[in-house]
Structure 1
Amino acid sequence: MDESPKKIHVESVNRNTLSKQVVKSIIQLLVSGQMKPGDKLPTEMELMEKISVSRPVLREALSSLESLGVITRKTREGTFFNNKISSHPFSIMLSLAHDNLQAIIEARMALELGLITIAAEKISDEELSRLKSTIDVIANSNGSDYGEADIEFHRIIALSANNQIVEGMVDSLIVTLVKTNSEIKVREPERTVQHHLAIYKALEKRDPFEAFHQMYLHLDYVRQKVLKDHT
């Protein structure tokens, strides 16, 4: 890996703008070809000087990029673009729209509704068993303490599609799911169990049409709930 300093040009942004513009400026290094996956980013001091922003704004932007899997910060080594960026293009798009909740929810719907029809044809009995276990965890949870089981339910379905080309989308799907869940103010475990159980039964029957229908009903409910709570 080449860690030698690179001569780069980064568009500066106004000091009063949000970290999103800093995210765009850093992403532009990839889009423009000035840097590539695996490259080491300039130091914080260099980025602050080139982009003309304060340290808190820069660090907020870097945190967003790290949570989306675009960069990795290594102690005493520096900050690097991840090697997997090229196989996870949705991570870049998510980073550019990290404050657009409606776009994130719609991206989640597009990914999950496509994946579940494939999952209905391929899901194994073992995966179905694991799926049912997550539903049981939610049913026995204490009110709102079931976030991990909820995420695992959707992860199992996505991975059961067993397609190496779309596998790179799963990480991005989980990012959208975590973001969506973080915006839910009041959880309804009984409703979640009801929706998940309907999806499970459709998958158990290996019925892609019913699986799509039940997943759409679930995701549309989540969309309406989150956007209502967010306004």
Structure 2
Amino acid sequence: MEVEKKELRMKSVKRQTMAKQVVDQIIELLTSGQLNPGDKLPTESELTELLYVSRPVLREALSSLETMGVIQRKTREGTYFANKIGSKPFSIMLALSAGDIPSVMEARMALELGLVTMAAEKITDDQLELLEALLTSMSDHKEDYLDIDREFHRTIAFSANNPILEGSIDPLLNMFDETLNQISLTDRDHSVTLQEHRTIFEALKKRDPIAAASSMYLHLNHVRAKVLKKLNES
């Protein structure tokens, strides 16, 4: 008698999940004390054998760690943990959250909402001029404006003039860019993005922290909705 075969349902293993596990394992070398800031990591060949992963997966994980400032890759010398990583717990926490896209989005929103509020109180006329110039440049570059977009947000962050928070914005924006690259977000609306940035700028120009926070929230929440929609479709 032939036994009816059951249909099994399983989720496919995503490559970024494997890279995230590699990130966790490499960070574990640091947090467990097996290696220290400034120490050299094993070679790529040794790491692929130790972790049982392919070289492309390993390189994806190393690129994420390098982007966040956790490691440094030196030509012909190898890969090292950054010397000052002990003073960058935010980078480590961010590295451990690699691949957790909703958490990355929420962390960016939390940080930037606070920064734009402080920026509204502290921003200088020179920084406002720079933001206005960036808006003009963004208007002129309808296809390739992501670097301009990033610089707009960085300028606001540094306008808050808080050295404690300044060290967090770059690794977070780097991780956000890496996230968008992984999910291939293509439905970018230049006109909407430009208008949202102009609204943020006008609030900063008026030195209105409440309006600045509100306009930044609307912008980042719009981005978050698009990213989460893309994730649900994949």
Matches within 5 A, 1:1-231: 18-142=18-142, 144-179=143-178, 181-182=180-181, 183-231=184-232
Whether the 8 Å contact between 1:87 and 1:168 is mirrored in structure 2 is: no
- The offset of 1:146, in angstroms, is 0.7
**Deviations 1:11-53, CA, capped at 9 Å, x for gaps:** xxxxx98122121111011111222222211222333343343
CA–CA distance in structure 1, aligned partners of residues 190 and 54 of structure 2: 42
Post-superposition CA distance 1:141-194 (Å, at most 9, x none): 23x311111001000001111111112102123214423554431221111121
Check the 8 A contact 2:139/2:194 in 1, yes or no.
Answer: yes
CA distance in 1, matches of 2:48, 2:176: 32
CA-CA distance at 1:89 after TM superposition:
2.3
**Is residue 68–residue 175 contact of structure 2 (8 Å, CA) maintained in 1?**
no
C-alpha separation in 2, matches of 1:60 and 1:203: 38
Equivalences, count: 215
Q: Distance in 1 between matches of 2:175 and 2:215?
A: 19
Counterpart of 1:3? none
- The residue type paired with residue 223 of structure 2 is V
SS of aligned partner of 2:72:
strand
Whole-Å Cα distance in 2 between the matches of residues 229 and 119 of structure 1? 31
Distance 1:18 1:34 in 2: 22
Q: CA offset at residue 222 of structure 1? A: 0.8
Q: How big is each residue's C-alpha offset from its partner over 1:175-215, in whole Å with a ceiling of 9 and x where there is no partner?
A: 14423554431221111121111111111111111111110
Gaps of 5+ in 1: 1-15
Tell me the secondary structure at the aligned position of residue 163 of structure 2.
Answer: coil
How far apart, in 1, do the equivalents of 2:63 and 2:180 lie? 19
Asked whether the equivalents of residues 112 and 173 of structure 1 are also in contact (C-alpha less than 8 Å), the reply is no
Using a 3 Å threshold, how does the CA distance of structure 1 residues 79 and 179 change in structure 2: closer, same or farther? closer
Moved more, 155-164 or 55-64: 55-64
Tell whether the 8 Å contact from 2:94 to 2:172 is kept in structure 1 after alignment. no
Residue identity in the other structure for 2:91: S
* 1:168/1:21 CA distance change after superposition, 3 Å: same
Contact 1:123–1:203 under 8 Å retained in 2: yes
TM-score by length of 1: 0.85
Go from structure 1 to structure 2 and tell me whether the alpha carbon gap of 1:84 and 1:119 turns closer, same or farther (over 3 Å shift).
farther
